[in-house]
Amino acid sequence: MSSNAEARLPLPPFTRESAIEKIRLAEDGWNSRDPQRVSLAYTVDTKWRNRAEFANNREEAKGFLTRKWAKELDYRLIKELWAFTGNRIAVRYAYEWHDDSGNWYRSYGNENWEFDEYGLMSNRHACINDLPIKESERKFHWPLGRRPNDHPGLSDLDL
């Protein structure tokens, strides 16, 4: 359940342009690595499946994000539109990170999103695979935080 006071533009139904804008806003939020900020993009009763972990509300999603970014260090993410219709968006993405032992990974995934009328995500289903990489194989090189507008996207990087 959401309220107009919590509305997150752009609102559904999505056009190609508004879906791309919504994706970039989500990418920017996740690249902030701020669980509180990111959790506010989801409905209070949001439902998530992320790998084998499930979240059944905004607070559980915030807890998930807190644990995620405590483990996935120097996290950098790129999302790209796959498909959209009405109040749903499908994205593909990749992110790079390392663990506390310095082992680097590139994680590839797909997400299916469903939004309420206020533009808050009510359902998120994610499938993710982790590929160990060498630090020299990294492709995401920007200071922590928002990906610069001129940094290549997934298709440009042949990912």
In a domain, 152, yes or no: no
Residue 41 CB: number of other CB atoms within 10 A? Answer: 21
pTM for the model? 0.95
- Residue ranges of the chain with per-residue pLDDT less than 70: 1-4
DSSP assignment of 106-144: EEEEEEEEEE-TTS-EEEEEEEEEEEEE-GGG----S-S
Residue 146 lies in a domain: no
Predicted pLDDT at 38: 98
pLDDT of the residue at 1: 59
Mind listing the pLDDT tens digit for each residue in 4-38? Answer: 678 999 999 999 999 999 999 999 999 999 999 99
Name the 3-class secondary structure at 47.
strand
User: What pLDDT score does 3 carry?
Assistant: 66
98 falls within a domain: yes
User: What is the rounded distance in angstroms from the CA atom of residue 44 to the CA atom of residue 156?
Assistant: 36
| pLDDT number for residue 2 | 67
CB 74 within 8 A of CB 144: yes
CATH assignment at residue 39? 3.10.450.50
Task: Establish if 45 belongs to a structural domain.
Answer: yes
Q: How many domains does the chain have?
A: 1
Cβ contact 10:18 at 8 Å: yes
**What is residue 103's predicted lDDT score, i.e. its pLDDT?**
98
Domain that holds residue 113: 4-137
